Amino acid sequence: MEIRIESYLSGSHLLECEPEKWDAIVILDSDIPEPEFVAEMTRSHLFLNFDDIESPAWGKRIVSSQMVKSALRFAKKSQHLLVCCRAGQSRSSALAYTIAFENGGAELALEVLNPERHRPNEQVLEEAKQVCHNPGFIFNYRKWKDEKARGSLSPYLHEIENEAELLIDAGAVNQIDPAPY
C-alpha cells in the first residue's frame, strides 16, 4: 500500500496531476463543507470532520474512535491512499501512521512519518490506540518521537513555506478548502 500525507494544497495538486489514481481520506475542520472536487478526482473518498485539537474545546469537534474505525475500514480497500488535512502535519500524519501500522506493522508506520514535517496529533493517536489494541502502536510512535522528532517544526517552516510557494508558482490551487485562512 502506498500512503501519502499531504496538505490541502499539495493534495489538490496531486489529485489534479493523477486523477482517479488515489483513494482519499480528507480531514476537514468541523465547519468546512465537503468539496465536490475530491469526489470528482478520486477513485473513492472518505471525509472526516474534526478539528486539530488535542483536548475538548468549546465549539470544536474532537476525533472519535468511530472516525478512526471508519478510516481503517476505508483504507483496507486501497492501494494508493492519500491522507490530507489543512497543513498535512498533525491530523493526517497521525491517521496515516495508524493506517500504516494496522496494514503493515511498525516498520511501515514509521516510514510514513517525516520528522521534519510531521507532529502527529496526540488525540488522534489516543483514539487509535483504543482501536488498535497493540501495545507496540504507541511504543513505536513514542520511540520515533523521542529519537527523531525532537523540538518543533519551526526550523523547517521556511522550507515548508518555500515548497508551498513552488506549488503555487506551478499553478497548484487549494481546491479542498479554497477559503483563505
Residue 17 lies in a domain: yes
Q: What is the CATH number of the domain that holds 95?
A: 3.90.190.10
For residues 148, 128, 13, 80, the Cα torsion angle rounded to the nearest 10 degrees is: 100
Number of domains in the chain: 1
Residue 176 maps to a domain? no
Residue 116 grid cell: 521534519
Using alpha carbons, select from 72, 84, 67 the residue that is nearest to residue 22. Answer: 84
Q: How many CA atoms lie within 13 A of 63 on its CB side?
A: 29
Query: What pTM was computed for the model?
Result: 0.93
Question: pLDDT value at position 86?
Answer: 94
Dist. CA 107–CA 126, nearest whole Å: 20
Q: Which domain holds residue 102?
A: 2-169
Residue 177 lies in a domain: no
Domain assignment present for residue 175? The answer is no
Q: Is the residue at 82 inside a domain? A: yes
pLDDT in tens, the chain (181 residues): 999 999 999 999 999 999 999 999 999 999 999 999 999 999 999 999 999 998 889 999 999 999 999 999 999 999 999 999 999 999 999 999 999 999 999 999 999 999 988 999 999 999 999 999 888 999 999 999 988 876 665 566 677 788 888 888 988 999 999 775 5
Residue 70 has what pLDDT? 98
Alpha helices, DSSP H, located in 30-90: 36-41, 65-75
